[in-house]
Each structure stands twice: as structure tokens, then as C-alpha cells.
Amino acid sequence: MITHAAINAYNKVGIDTGVVSADPHKLISLLYQGALLAIANAKSSILRKDVAGRGKAISHAILIIDSGLNASLNKDVGGDLALNLAALYEYMSHRLLAANINSDTAALDEVAKLLNELKEAWESIRPHAAAAEVPVPPVTRPAQAEQLTYARG
């Protein structure tokens, strides 16, 4: 159930890199990467005085944080940790909004630093794959499956 929710959250924010075959832990790592990339793009846009690019990149970062990272929290099971993370994600979204309004690269740096710390902590608790665990092959996309059918036919 959590895997399905994480995949839906990840797909909702528009990032497409092997999501279907990724485990829930990897999905969260990818969300952190996506948010950090969006923040880097926003900072670059501010430096280039690209207002539209800044807005798009910051909106994307906020979407990843709100609809991806925050939405994937299980507040029923996670207790105080999940609630504290939810509050931190909300704070980050507010800082990103301020960064957009004020072209504030310091606010972007602050959020990037927080995300990097969370990402490192998350990756440090990566469950080790059991020796008997069999890797799941990636799911073929419908367009690829159709091409394979015609090639065999």
C-alpha cells in the first residue's frame, strides 16, 4: 500500500525515471533529488533574472515537497517523527514561496541544505538487500510492448 502511494505521489510531481521498478525507499530518494534539482534550477534562474524560469522551478520544488515528500508520510504510524517532518516540509514550502517573491537565493540555499541533510539521513538508513532477494525486472511501457508485438508478428 505504501509503495502504491509513493508511486502515485512521485508520478503526480512529474518525474519519470524508473519509478515503477523502484522500491519505496528509492522513491523517496528520487523525490529529494528532484526537489534539490528544482531548487538549483530556481537559483540559476534568479541569477539569470529569468522570472518565469524561477517561478516554474520553485513551483516544481514545492510540488515535490508537498505532493511527494509530505504526502508519503504515514502520520498514523510515524508518530512525532512524521509530524515533525510534515512541519519541516511546510516550513520549506513557505521559505520557497518567499524565495520566489523576493528572488531570495539565501532562502533557496537554506531549503537545499535542509533537504540535503534529510536526504543523507534517509540514504543512511537504506535497508540492505537480503541475499535471497530477487530483483524485480522493470515494467515495459505500453508503447514498448506494442513495438515488441509488431516486431515479433
CATH of residue 25? 1.20.120.340
Of 31, 40, 23, 36, nearest in space to 71 by CA: 31
Whether residue 50 is contained in a domain is answered as: yes
Whether residue 153 is contained in a domain is answered as: no
> Which residues form the domain of 60?
2-125+139-148
CA atoms within 13 A on the CB side of 49: 0
d(CA 69, CA 65): 5
Whether residue 46 is contained in a domain is answered as: yes
Collapsed DSSP state (helix, strand, coil) of residue 26: helix
d(CA 98, CA 95): 5
CB 12 within 8 A of CB 65: no
Whether residue 132 is contained in a domain is answered as: no
| For residue 145, pLDDT beyond 90 | no
Whether residue 133 is contained in a domain is answered as: no
Over residues 64-74, mean pLDDT = 95
What's the CA angle centered on 79, arms 14 and 121, to 5 degrees? 55
pLDDT band at 21; cut points 50, 70, 90: low
Whether residue 130 is contained in a domain is answered as: no
Higher local confidence (pLDDT), 143 or 123: 123
Whether residue 45 is contained in a domain is answered as: yes
Residue 126 confidence (pLDDT):
79
Any residues with CB less than 8 A from the CB of 104 and at least 6 apart, and which? 98
Per-residue pLDDT reduced to its tens digit, 100-130: 999 999 999 999 999 999 999 999 987 764 3
Any residues with CB less than 8 A from the CB of 2 and at least 6 apart, and which? 24, 72, 74
Number of domains in the chain: 1
Whether residue 94 is contained in a domain is answered as: yes
